[in-house]
Amino acid sequence: MRLNDILDKAFSEQITLELESSVAYLQLAVALDDADLPGMASWMRIQADEEREHAGKFIAHATARGNRPQIGQIVAPNDPGAGVTPAFEAALAHEQRVSECIRALYRLAQAEGDIDSLPLLSWFLEEQVEEESTVSGIIGRLHMIGDDGPGLLRLDEELGARRPDGDAGA
């Protein structure tokens, strides 16, 4: 029932990446707070919380199987610079990185014959499609808005309506 050593290490690396994602979203929230966009900053903070929950799902799976995951070093994110669109583009790039890591973990579990991990990893694959789609949609709307202040404030208000359980907002 235990994860073998190869998967144990890979799960620990994924847990670290999920926690790194949380820190990245917190840094993006700071950038958006600095841009006086509290709704978008709130959206990013909720996303940061969700990433910590994702790490928890991986931890729960590994520990339920008798493993003891090790959290690695969390790498500080790069500052995306000024601007709303660069912040969301940084979020999308990070989500794409996470998606590829989960795909690799799925392929590894298959190669190792660990069918017990596949349902969890399938859930994450679906979650990542949703995550990338959501952020891509926000970026598309930001491109349509351009420099339109009222449009940006309206999107800020909409994203600020997001609740931790995923209700409202993009």
Amino acid code (one letter) for 101: C
Residue 166's Cβ-count burial label (10 Å; 0-12, 13-18, 19+) is exposed
In this structure, are residues 37 and 152 in contact, taking their beta carbons and an 8 Å threshold?
A: yes
**Does the annotation list 51 as a binding residue?**
yes
Query: Which is nearest to 80 in space by CA: 142, 125, 137?
Result: 142
**Does the annotation list 47 as a binding residue?**
no
Nearest 10 degrees: Cα torsion 37, 135, 169, 29: -30
**Does the annotation list 18 as a binding residue?**
yes
**Which positions make up the binding site for Fe cation?**
18, 51, 54, 95, 128
**Which positions make up the binding site?**
18, 51, 54, 95, 128
